[in-house]
Structure 1
Amino acid sequence: MLRMRHEVNGGPEVLFAEQVDRPVAGPGELLVRTEAIGVTLPTVRKVREGSGPVSFGGELAGEVMATGEGVASFTVGDRVTGLCFADAYAEFAVLNAAMASRVPDGASAVDAVALVRSGLVARGAYEAARVEPGESVLVTAAASAVGSLAVQYAKAAGAGRVVAAVSSAAKAGFVRGLGADRVVLYEDADWGAPYDVILDGVGGDLLAPAVRALATGGRIVAFSSGGGTVEAYELLVRGASMIGFQMRAIATGKPELYDRWLRELWRLHSAGTLRTAVHEEIPLAEAARAHAVIEQRRNLGKVVLVP
């Protein structure tokens, strides 16, 4: 089977394809014939900045070809999606059954990859912010896979003013089409402040201006892998708070809540309230091109590899 790897750190040019044997499902695992694989910014960053080779992780969706010992919740032929932590960029991958969920009838593998993980992060970040009806919400990285769903979810959940922050004016039409009431650029002076809530998917140097854009009593929820620091004084003078959100803590620590959010996402998607945005479907062997799109921040929605 085809699998993508890298041996040294660097840009997209370090990725290469290799032919290897199919993996085997171990206890509690599923062997999945992949139909769609999501490319994420954290994985791209690990290739560029990591201390050594990393196995590509990511969301995937496909058909169960074999089940490991102890798996009772899935059978061969089921269509599933989930987060794979190792060797996800492959024609066949091993997925922990505890991290898998079924793809509903009528939904495509690409829809599943674009909706589930990104939608759960968007949903969870919104929940962490404790948004009250009518409050203003700013979403950074609004053209990303998570951001595009966060904008739509905020509108559907009853937020007042929903503003999309993006890196380029070329993305403005896209985020307006998602329902954003206004679009601001990171380079703008005050981002149209103040905001009751900021859902931040960028981090890094943008954290400081994000905090300054908070209203009195505002909340910023950080869910990116971009790091960054915040001056405590900036929070103090606004009576504001900063919250870190991690989806894995919900998936492993609160499975009932995770399942409820998952059902809600598929219901909203089926109703047309949440629309998945896919920038491009790229052949698996061209994964380097997919990484380049993410690194250059050109994507509008999810970048998906297709074996």
Structure 2
Amino acid sequence: MLRIRHEVNGGPEALFAEEADTPAAGAGELLVRVEAIGVTLPTVRKVREGSEPVPFGGEVAGTVVVIGPGVTGFRAGERVTGLCFTDAYAEYAVLPTTMTSRIPADASAVEAVALVRSGLVACGAYESARVEPGESVLVTAAASAVGTLALQYAKTGGAKRVVAAVSSADKAGFVRGLGADEVVLYGDADWNGPYDVILDGAGGDLLGPAVRALATGGRLVAFSSGGGTVEAYELLVRGASVIGFQIRAIATGKPELYERWLRELWQLRAAGTLRTVVHEEIPLAEAAHALIEQRRNLGKVVLVP
């Protein structure tokens, strides 16, 4: 099968295609013939920052071809989507059943990888913030795959003011089209705050300004892989809080909640309340991270075998 690997010292030019053996499904796993692969920022960061080659992880959608030992509830021929933690950039991938779900008959594989993981993170971050009707919400990295869905959650969830924070002014029209009432740039003073809630998908050096943009009693939900440092004093003077969110912890620790969010995602999609945005479909053999490295993507970047 075709598989994408990378060399050390990161960057888009470090990706290369190779032939590899088809993996085997182990206990609690499914072997899937891949139809679409979602490119995620954490994976891009692994390539850029890693000191040695690591397998590409990511969202995968396709058709089940082999059921691993001990697996119940799935069968060969079903279309599924889930997270692959080893070699997702390939024609065949192994998915743990704990992070895998079925795709509705009327949805494509590309739509599934654009909706499920990003939507679960957006939904979970929004619920973690406990947004009250009439509150203001700022979404950072608002043009990203998660950000586009977080904006829609905030807009339809009762927030009075929904603001998108982006890296460049040329993204303003795009995020307004997804429901943002206002748009701020990361370089703007105080980000036009304060805000009751900030859903932060950026992290890193932007985490400090985000905390300073919180209102008294505000909540910031951090779900980015970008890290960052929070000064306790900034929280103290605002009586504010920072909440960390990770979807894998929910899938493994609270499976009932994970399943509820999954059902709600597809219901919202069917009702037209949530819509996915795919920036580009890239052939697997031409896999590249340039769009995300340069923060040029508007929505999801998808690889297609």
Normalising by the residue count of structure 1, what TM-score does the alignment of the two structures yield? 0.98
Q: Does structure 1 retain, via aligned residues, the 8 Å contact 2:57–2:87?
A: yes
Determine whether 1:299 maps to 2:287. no
CA deviations 1:51-95 (Å, max 9, x no partner) are: 211100000000001111111211110000000000000001111
What's the counterpart of residue 2 of structure 1?
2
Q: Is the 8 A contact 2:98 2:251 kept in 1?
A: no
The 2-side partners of 1:76 and 1:209 are apart by 49
Question: 2:276 aligned with 1:276, yes or no?
Answer: yes
Distance in 2 between residues matched to 1:89 and 1:42, nearest whole Å: 14
CA distance in 1, matches of 2:256, 2:146: 22
The equivalent of 2:32 in structure 1 is 32
Partner of 1:80: 80
In the TM superposition, what is the alpha-carbon distance from 1:147 to its structure 2 partner? 0.4
Gaps of 5+ in 2: none
Query: Which residue of structure 2 aligns with residue 260 of structure 1?
Result: 260
Moved more, 297-306 or 124-133: 124-133
Q: Is 2:128 aligned against 1:128?
A: yes
Q: Which residue of 1 aligns with 2:146?
A: 146
> Residue deviations 1:131-158, cap 9 Å, x none?
1111100000000000000000111111
Cα distance in 2 between the residues matched to 1:172 and 1:83: 31
Mapping 1:44-55, distance limit 5 Å:
44-55=44-55
4+ runs of 1 displaced by more than 3 Å? none
Q: Take 2:257 and 2:16, find their aligned partners in 1: how far apart are those partners?
A: 39
Counterpart residue identity of residue 177, structure 2: G
The AA in structure 1 aligned to 2:39 is V
- TM-score between both structures, scaled by the size of structure 2: 0.99
**One-letter identity of the residue aligned with 2:192:** G
Aligned partners of 1:242, 1:97: CA distance in 2, in Å?
A: 31
CA distance in 1, matches of 2:77, 2:13: 36
Counterpart Cα distance in 2 of 1:6 and 1:198? 35
What is aligned with 1:240? Answer: 240
Structure 2 matches for 1:107-186, cutoff 5 A?
Answer: 107-186=107-186
Q: How many residues align?
A: 305
Task: Give how far 1:167 is off.
Answer: 0.3
Describe how 1:89-104 pairs up with structure 2 within 5 A: 89-104=89-104
Tell me how far 1:96 sits from its aligned partner.
Answer: 1.1
CA RMSD of aligned residues (A): 0.8
